[in-house]
Amino acid sequence: MRIAVVGSGYVGLVSGACFADFGHEVTCVDSNQEKIASLKAGVMPIYEPGLEQMVATNTKANRLVFTTDLAEAVSRAEAVFIAVGTPSRRGDGHADLSYVYAVAKEIAGNIQRFTVVVTKSTVPVGTGDEVERIIREENPAADIAVVSNPEFLREGAAIEDFKRPDRIVIGIEDERAREVMTEVYRPLYLNKAPLMFTARRTSELIKYAANAYLAMKITFINEMADLCEAVGSNVQDVAHGIGLDKRIGSKFLHAGPGYGGSCFPKDTLALVKTAQDYGSPLRLVETTVAVNDQRKRAMARKVARAIGTDVRGKTVALLGLTFKPNTDDIRESPAIAIIQGLQDGGAHVRAFDPEGMEAAKAYVSDVAFGGDAYEIANGADALVLVTEWDAFRALDFTRLKSLMKEALFVDLRNVYRREVVARHGFRYVSVGRPKEDITVALATAAE
């Protein structure tokens, strides 16, 4: 099948590469000439495990091509996927749909046959209606079916998610689109991927509802972590205890500095705004957004308290800048708020991240970036683990202690056990665990 994917960012590039890997003939379109030139040269604009090799393989096989010529790509395609960005709109928090609508206008004049136009971008309820209206207004003769097909890709595991999905949600209003979309995803049938056909507006809302629920789950366990610290409980045991209940499940119950990234922050906010516009406010989601924003800044205060009453002139070294491991995405990362909070208090900040340092330079200033954990720890008053990269899971604490001015380790992801770190002479601060774990106290008493 001939497919055009408009937008070669995270969603568009991963989707296009995976469709090509299925055997489809895919053209990825982007208006950014520099990006297209880089992709043709095999240089990826994002970091995603396995993506570079997949693009190279399918480009070599002529199943995947990159171009700035939207007209040609659309005129040949049986399905056109819109995969451009929908960032939060400045001023009101609504999703900015200007890129989606601009693409719809451009697509309209280049449709040559019956074409399924698929919105892959995350968009509010009713966007598909407007996309269809725009195309029909621009080209009344266009024979189209507009479909909603939201993505559910986790950064760092996007290829696995695309090829082995929990579900594929497809919102249609024209039955002719069912056959085309079934053919698009036919290669997944061997994996028994569940195709879920719904009304278009329902499909659009499923995406937002899923992200909002997961964001609430993260925020819930983070608030429980604060309570655990106050009463002397262990949030990891609490999470395990409730996660064993199959109605709840264990995923997204890991206490930390708050959620970030390109999806949860903007999607929860856009859902809140949509609900308010329709006179049906979502109080739980509104609170989730507010609590998560406050938590990121609170983590800077947590680090400051661990150091002392005044961080002015202190040097703090941060391990991790991206919002999660295995990506170079800095957007809405808790690390940004932590850095800003520490700098506001007068601290000097150093940082290292395996993939995110270059991107971080656009978000923070006056940060000393280092080549590894040990370089930034040299002479530091505190070492703070912000993002749980594998590279940070087996730190040499003996070496770190010899380098640091003060032996203080703040673990905002609960990667380590207190006794392991304390054995090397460090003060250890974590999230949602008592100052001295009961298990450690019992073990000490037994000795």
* Same domain membership, residue 336 and residue 404: yes
Specify the pLDDT at position 191. 65
* Same domain membership, residue 137 and residue 38: yes
Specify the pLDDT at position 262. 86
pTM: 0.90
Residue 205 maps to a domain: no
pLDDT digits over 66-94, tens only?
A: 999 999 999 999 999 999 999 998 878 89
Residue 108 maps to a domain: yes
Which residue among 164, 198, 232 closes a domain?
A: 198
* Same domain membership, residue 253 and residue 194: no
* Same domain membership, residue 411 and residue 299: yes
Structural domain tally of the chain? 2
In angstroms, the CA 232 to CA 248 distance is 24
* Same domain membership, residue 231 and residue 153: no
Q: Given pLDDT bands bounded at 50, 70 and 90, which one contains residue 436?
A: low
* Same domain membership, residue 227 and residue 184: no
Catalytic residue set: 263
Q: Given pLDDT bands bounded at 50, 70 and 90, which one contains residue 244?
A: very high
pLDDT digits over 157-195, tens only?
A: 999 999 999 999 999 999 999 999 999 999 987 767 789
Specify the pLDDT at position 440. 46
> Which of 102, 103, 66, 99 shows the shortest CA–CA distance to 85?
99
* Same domain membership, residue 237 and residue 271: yes
Tokens of 413: 């992801």
* Same domain membership, residue 245 and residue 114: no
Q: What mean pLDDT do residues 265-290 have?
A: 95
Residues 6+ apart with CB under 8 A from 381: 307, 314, 315, 316, 404, 405, 406, 408
Q: Given pLDDT bands bounded at 50, 70 and 90, which one contains residue 203?
A: very high
**DSSP run (H or E) holding 237:** helix 235-243
CATH number at residue 400: 3.40.50.720
CA 416 to chain centre: 24
Q: What percent of the chain has pLDDT over 70?
A: 97
DSSP 182: H
Owning domain of residue 323 = 223-443
pLDDT above 90 (res 32): yes
* Same domain membership, residue 373 and residue 233: yes
* Same domain membership, residue 161 and residue 278: no
pLDDT above 50 (res 443): no
Residue 37 maps to a domain: yes
* Same domain membership, residue 166 and residue 240: no
In angstroms, the CA 342 to CA 308 distance is 12
Specify the pLDDT at position 22. 95
Residue 213 maps to a domain: no
* Same domain membership, residue 243 and residue 136: no
